[in-house]
């Protein structure tokens, strides 16, 4: 079942004609008016570049993808009706994140033949790695129109920062407590990916550096993000660079020249570009409240760690011993919250939740702890788009910082996260030279 049910039914289909009762329809534009921007695991994004139009100017279209590989593990990806996603941002996320750091979202009615035409036109612009796995889901009736945050001029930098804190040891099991309180989840995950899947372009990026609030450490994080981006030819998902609205690939010389112009760099060799890149965004990162906001929401919504949440679940359901390979969380019996329940949760989170004794969680608070874990997961997986002002013409305005991909996660994620946590930690315990990740001191 979907985590959120659609709350508005806007379209009635009579044959091929859609009557939309005042709703925006994508067929008001031509598929060729939309240019490929980028994509993630679940969605693909196009920017409007057609004739002036009040509904579409300055907007991107975010569409769901569907897997072309028959694989049951993909089922969790196809879970949210898009109008409900818009409502989730308006009614839940916006109570935690100020609107100046969120894109505007609204839904748009789609059309299958229009989507197939767009897919055909833009397929060649997609990375081969993504093309082999999925395509635009032309069966969807709604997509999302959102503020275009990469635009068609200048530079935009997208960072997917991931987990910005170390868990507290209280609810961790003895074998995991030491490692999880010393090495951050991202660094352990990087290690386990490399050990298990042979990912040979290791990233030295540590989110705790980026979130530290310390100039030198942030510069170090930017250096490591840049190196992973450069060495993987832009395929690592923690950093994306857009020059004049186009995604830059390090191996593409004309694009690197464009990047050099957008950065006002001295030349387009890698060292000059890296220096100009760090220079362009370091003050914006330091001055903006966004990174601090993300890490503190991630942490305050996850006071028990997935291990503590699982223990509480077992107590509440009077489950005794289970073997270490079984994921107790996220079974089908945990139903997904409705939008109303999410709103009630935010009331509780902003009022009582901080004063609960998280070292002795109460069983009747289980549902709130499960929801908090989900919402923390949203902030652990979001991305940030920075649009620095280059050259800096105003002393008051350094640029814009916006958080994207704040999608709701469903309860079925919990078992995935519990299993992944165990897998990552077990693998990391085999590392003879474990890293010591250091939490910053912004607070
Ligand atoms: O579990 P993680 O930490 O690997 O995060 C997944 C991301 O992998 P990453 O580690 O960033 O490469 C993953 O990113 P990619 O698709 O690999 O770019 C997704 O963001 C996934 O969320 P969803 O299934 O699209 O809702 C993310 O899954 P959730 O953790 O949100 O379930
Ligand atoms: N408002 C926007 N303006 C410009 N580009 C955007 C916007 N929203 C998303 N994008 C681009 O589209 C990409 C995919 O969007 P998004 O991260 O929301 O997808 P996703 O499939 O949920 O990703 P993930 O797999 O990381 O969860 C982003 O990484 C970004 O490059």
ipTM value, please give it: 0.98
> Per the structure block, which two tokens stand in for 429?
């315990």
Tell me what pLDDT residue 200 has.
Answer: 63
Tell me what pLDDT residue 429 has.
Answer: 96
CA angle 268, 159, 108 (to 5 degrees): 110
Answer yes or no: is the C-beta of 413 below 6 A from any ligand 1 atom. Answer: yes
Asked if 403 and 384 touch (Cβ cutoff 8 Å), the reply is: yes
For residue 185, the ligand 1 atom closest to its alpha carbon is: 3
- Cβ-based neighbours of 140, under 8 Å, separated by 6 or more: 63, 64, 82, 110, 115
pLDDT tens column, 289-309? 999 999 999 999 999 999 999
For residue 77, the ligand 1 atom closest to its alpha carbon is: 24
Answer yes or no: is the C-beta of 41 below 6 A from any ligand 2 atom. Answer: yes
Cα(40) to ligand 2 centroid in Å equals 6
Tell me what pLDDT residue 9 has.
Answer: 34
Please state the φ and ψ torsions of residue 33, each to the nearest 5 degrees: -75, -5
Asked if 108 and 20 touch (Cβ cutoff 8 Å), the reply is: no
Tell me what pLDDT residue 189 has.
Answer: 97
Using most ligand atoms within 8 A of CB, pick from 41, 192, 228 the residue to mutate for ligand 1.
Answer: 41
Residue identifier of the C-alpha nearest atom 27 of ligand 1? 381
Cα(160) to ligand 2 centroid in Å equals 10
Answer yes or no: is the C-beta of 237 below 6 A from any ligand 1 atom. Answer: yes
For residue 163, the ligand 1 atom closest to its alpha carbon is: 3
CA 47 to CA 38: how far, in whole Å? Answer: 10
Please state the φ and ψ torsions of residue 107, each to the nearest 5 degrees: -95, 160
Which bound ligand lies closest to the C-alpha atom of 238?
Answer: 1
Tell me what pLDDT residue 268 has.
Answer: 86
Using most ligand atoms within 8 A of CB, pick from 38, 88, 384 the residue to mutate for ligand 2.
Answer: 38
Residue identifier of the C-alpha nearest atom 12 of ligand 1? 237
- Cβ-based neighbours of 386, under 8 Å, separated by 6 or more: 156, 157, 158, 159, 281, 284, 285, 399, 400, 401
Segments of the chain scoring below 70 in pLDDT? 1-22, 70-82, 198-201, 318-333, 441-443
Answer yes or no: is the C-beta of 43 below 6 A from any ligand 2 atom. Answer: yes
Residue identifier of the C-alpha nearest atom 19 of ligand 2? 40
Asked if 443 and 293 touch (Cβ cutoff 8 Å), the reply is: no
Strand 59-67 relative to strand 142-147, pairing: antiparallel
- Cβ-based neighbours of 84, under 8 Å, separated by 6 or more: 2, 4, 5, 6, 7, 339, 408
Answer yes or no: is the C-beta of 289 below 6 A from any ligand 1 atom. Answer: no
Residue identifier of the C-alpha nearest atom 26 of ligand 1? 77
> Per the structure block, which two tokens stand in for 218?
């942030």
Answer yes or no: is the C-beta of 381 below 6 A from any ligand 1 atom. Answer: yes
Answer yes or no: is the C-beta of 103 below 6 A from any ligand 2 atom. Answer: yes
**Residues 193, 199, 205, 211, Cα dihedral to 10°:** -40
Tell me what pLDDT residue 202 has.
Answer: 77
pLDDT tens column, 334-390? 789 999 999 999 999 999 999 999 999 999 999 999 999 999 999 999 999 999 998
Answer yes or no: is the C-beta of 38 below 6 A from any ligand 2 atom. Answer: yes
Answer yes or no: is the C-beta of 423 below 6 A from any ligand 1 atom. Answer: no
């Amino acid at each position: 079942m979907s985590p959120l049910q659609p709350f508005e039914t806007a379209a009635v289909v009579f044959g091929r004609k859609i009557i939309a009762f005042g709703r925006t329809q994508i067929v008001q534009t031509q598929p060729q008016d939309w240019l490929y921007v980028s994509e993630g695991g679940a969605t693909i994004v196009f920017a409007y570049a057609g004739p002036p139009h009040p509904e579409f100017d300055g907007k991107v279209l975010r569409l769901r993808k569907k897997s072309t590989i028959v694989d049951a593990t993909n089922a969790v990806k196809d879970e949210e009706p898009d109008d409900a996603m818009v409502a989730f941002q308006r009614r839940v996320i916006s109570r935690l994140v100020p609107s100046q750091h969120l894109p505007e979202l609204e839904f748009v009615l789609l059309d299958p033949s229009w989507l197939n035409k767009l897919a055909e036109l833009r397929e060649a612009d997609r990375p081969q790695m993504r093309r082999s796995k999925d395509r635009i889901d032309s069966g969807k009736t709604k997509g999302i129109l959102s503020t275009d945050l990469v635009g068609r001029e200048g530079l935009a930098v997208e960072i997917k920062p991931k987990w910005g804190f170390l868990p507290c040891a209280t609810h961790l099991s003895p074998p995991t407590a030491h490692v999880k309180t010393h090495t951050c989840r991202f660094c352990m995950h990087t290690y386990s990916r490399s050990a298990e899947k042979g990912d040979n372009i290791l990233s030295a990026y540590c989110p705790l550096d980026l979130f530290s609030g310390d100039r030198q450490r942030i510069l170090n994080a930017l250096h490591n993000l840049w190196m992973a981006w450069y060495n993987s030819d832009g395929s690592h998902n923690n950093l994306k660079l857009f020059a004049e609205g186009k995604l830059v690939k390090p191996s593409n010389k004309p694009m690197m020249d464009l990047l050099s112009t957008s950065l006002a760099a001295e030349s387009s060799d890698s060292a000059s570009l890296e220096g100009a890149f760090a220079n362009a965004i370091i003050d914006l990162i330091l001055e903006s409240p966004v990174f601090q906001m993300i890490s503190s929401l991630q942490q305050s919504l996850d006071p028990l760690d997935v291990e503590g949440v699982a223990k509480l679940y077992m107590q509440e359901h009077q489950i005794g011993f289970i073997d270490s390979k079984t994921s107790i969380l996220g079974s089908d019996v945990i139903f997904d919250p409705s939008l109303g329940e999410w709103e009630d949760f935010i009331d509780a989170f902003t009022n009582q939740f901080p004063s609960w004794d998280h070292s002795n969680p109460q069983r009747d608070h289980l549902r709130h702890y499960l929801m908090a874990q989900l919402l923390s997961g949203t902030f652990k997986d979001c991305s940030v788009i920075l649009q620095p002002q280059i050259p800096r013409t105003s002393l008051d305005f350094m640029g814009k910082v916006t958080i994207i991909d704040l999608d709701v996660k469903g309860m079925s994620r919990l078992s995935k996260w519990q299993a992944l946590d165990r897998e990552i930690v077990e693998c990391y315990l085999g590392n003879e030279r474990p890293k010591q990740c250091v939490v910053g001191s912004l607070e």
